[in-house]
Structure 1
Amino acid sequence: MRKIICIAVLMVTMVPALAQNREVIRKKGKTLIFTNDDPGLKKEVRSGLIKNFFKVYPKLVRDFNPRATDTVRVKIDTAYNGVAYAHNGKVTISSRWLEKKPGDTDVITHEVMHLVQAYPPDSGPGWLTEGIADYVRYVYGVDNEKAGWSLPAYEPGHHYENSYRITARFLVWLTENRNKDIVPLLDEHMRNKTYSPELWKTYTSKSLDDLWTMYQASPEL
């Protein structure tokens, strides 16, 4: 009997400690469920991630996909060895990455864009998916400079299929030189599974390869 009582007391004392790791924050019509498994996470990193979420996510929903989820779960994971990933309304961020790069609170900007994208399987090329997410980080990011994050200058050997920042820079160039709405247009086609390579010519009057050749000749932003 005493053993059962002791176990019950232990369980009761453990619950508040566990509950402290989970916060539910509601602002701007969005709900953030923030779970932190890392007791060593710096307060400024935690507050930076939350601030960036509420500054960026409502804008992304408005500008790209008003049907995106209003409730997002973010977890700081001590067991995950990568950087971050997003799936099914949830963002997982490595505590090790935040320890290494505490200024990289805009990692959440890239990841929540994946939730806004919500592309179905086989909707289009993966390099474009990641390129759009990094384009969004460049345009909507709160403090990329603090993270030491920027778009790389064009170099010989780069290709639009390199994905992430290299593709993102190409997308920025396209918005400045060919069609300011090219990214939202491609994003919508990807979400609706209507993407095709011919869309580049539809929206810019040039094929994708021709656009890349033009970019190589004059890649300045």
Structure 2
Amino acid sequence: MKKISVIITAAVMAAALFSCSMAEDDDKVSGTGSVAEVSTESVTESSEAPSEISISTEDESIPSFRLPFKAEDFDGIIDGLSVAVGGSDIIQKGTVDGMNYSITFQLGKWHRYTSNDQIVTLSKLFWQCYPKMYKRFGFVKGSPTDVSIAVEDDDYAISWTSGTHIHLNDRWLGENKTDFDCITHELVHVIQNGWDEAYLEYGAYIERFADYCRFLYAMDNGYYNDACWDLWTPEENNRETSVRFMVWLDYFYSTPDNDLMKKFFTVCSEYKYPAAEWDAAWTEILSGSELEGHDIDDIWQMYTSSDFAKLKSEVRNEGEVSELLNAYDIRGKLTD
């Protein structure tokens, strides 16, 4: 519903009153077609020079409140972070490892199912995770460094990404209090910057790679992620659907000088190999590694026969370490 307040100059008021005197009802004029209802309560006089009619609207579908945030709410996330709070946006700009990044939280349709503290945590997640992922993969495609996250009470399940714009259902974190790393997944889609399924062995690689990064770069070393999200599901029984296979391939066979997952990202980004030619793509990805010369299906069998494929990755409580991570310091390898 919209409420409209109309301010009319003295000259316009006189014309309106004259029109009223010609109507059947001496007090007011009303109708259902082009005749509008005129009320003297909505008419005011102005001593200023005549001006155009001023219309203000209030849309009840959009929350009418000032954002309950101050710049200092985000202190300590990174050194030198610039924060501006205005209108329905929180705009943050900062530099990490010599690269300039920005994140804009768009809260015009935020109904506070996501709490203030959770939005601060999402800010921390961006500045902790996005620069790390960008440093490894973002330079391949010149991926965007300016990102927006709209927290909105809208009609979709969890979150989705279009270009540099991430959309998060306001109710999701209201009901799933610690699933912050769903945004880590979406940030990967920004870095992918438009992979084309026609040039992927499987179109599912788009989502599987995002999940691979979600696990590897999860905020606070997986403190929240590992208690609410599992690396393995029963459907992951082939290369098309397996996230863990990517983690295994990376952990055991990538080196600083021959980063297999960076090569995988590059092949997916360059649109070099149509889906039917991915045998050649795998040859390029595996070149120079211990797996060079092996057929990718044979490599899959090596993976499925390993304990890595079977160890539990989920934990019951936040901060606990899974069987998989107790056996293999997967995230620690990133800092080696």
Gaps in structure 1 of 5+ consecutive residues = none
Quote the offset at 1:185 in angstroms: 0.6
Quote the offset at 1:75 in angstroms: 0.7
Conserved? CA contact 2:91–2:105, under 8 Å: yes
Alpha-carbon distance in structure 2 between the residues aligned to 1:50 and 1:184: 26
Alpha-carbon distance in structure 2 between the residues aligned to 1:88 and 1:119: 8
SS at match of 1:159: coil
Matches within 5 A, 1:1-221: 3-5=5-7, 8=55, 17=66, 20-28=87-95, 29-36=100-107, 37-40=109-112, 41-66=114-139, 67-121=142-196, 122-124=198-200, 125-143=202-220, 144-147=222-225, 148-152=228-232, 158-162=237-241, 167-180=242-255, 181-195=259-273, 196-202=278-284, 203=286, 204-205=291-292, 206-220=294-308
Quote the offset at 1:3 in angstroms: 4.1
Quote the offset at 1:156 in angstroms: 9.0
Quote the offset at 1:25 in angstroms: 1.0
- Between Structure 1 and Structure 2, how many residues are aligned? 213
Alpha-carbon distance in structure 1 between the residues aligned to 2:282 and 2:199: 16
When residues 20 and 101 of structure 1 are mapped into structure 2, their CA distance, relative to the original with a 3 A threshold, is farther
Identity %: 22
Alpha-carbon distance in structure 2 between the residues aligned to 1:156 and 1:184: 25
When residues 15 and 80 of structure 1 are mapped into structure 2, their CA distance, relative to the original with a 3 A threshold, is closer
When residues 70 and 9 of structure 1 are mapped into structure 2, their CA distance, relative to the original with a 3 A threshold, is same
For 1:59, the aligned partner's letter is K
Alpha-carbon distance in structure 2 between the residues aligned to 1:173 and 1:157: 14
For 1:58, the aligned partner's letter is P
Conserved? CA contact 2:111–2:153, under 8 Å: no
Quote the offset at 1:133 in angstroms: 1.0
Please report the TM-score for the alignment, with normalisation by the length of structure 2. Answer: 0.57
For 2:240, the aligned partner's letter is E
Gaps in structure 2 of 5+ consecutive residues = 8-41, 43-53, 68-85, 309-327, 329-336
Quote the offset at 1:90 in angstroms: 0.7
For 1:198, the aligned partner's letter is A
Quote the offset at 1:20 in angstroms: 4.1
Tell me the C-alpha RMSD between the 2 structures.
2.6
Conserved? CA contact 1:119–1:190, under 8 Å: no
When residues 156 and 92 of structure 1 are mapped into structure 2, their CA distance, relative to the original with a 3 A threshold, is closer
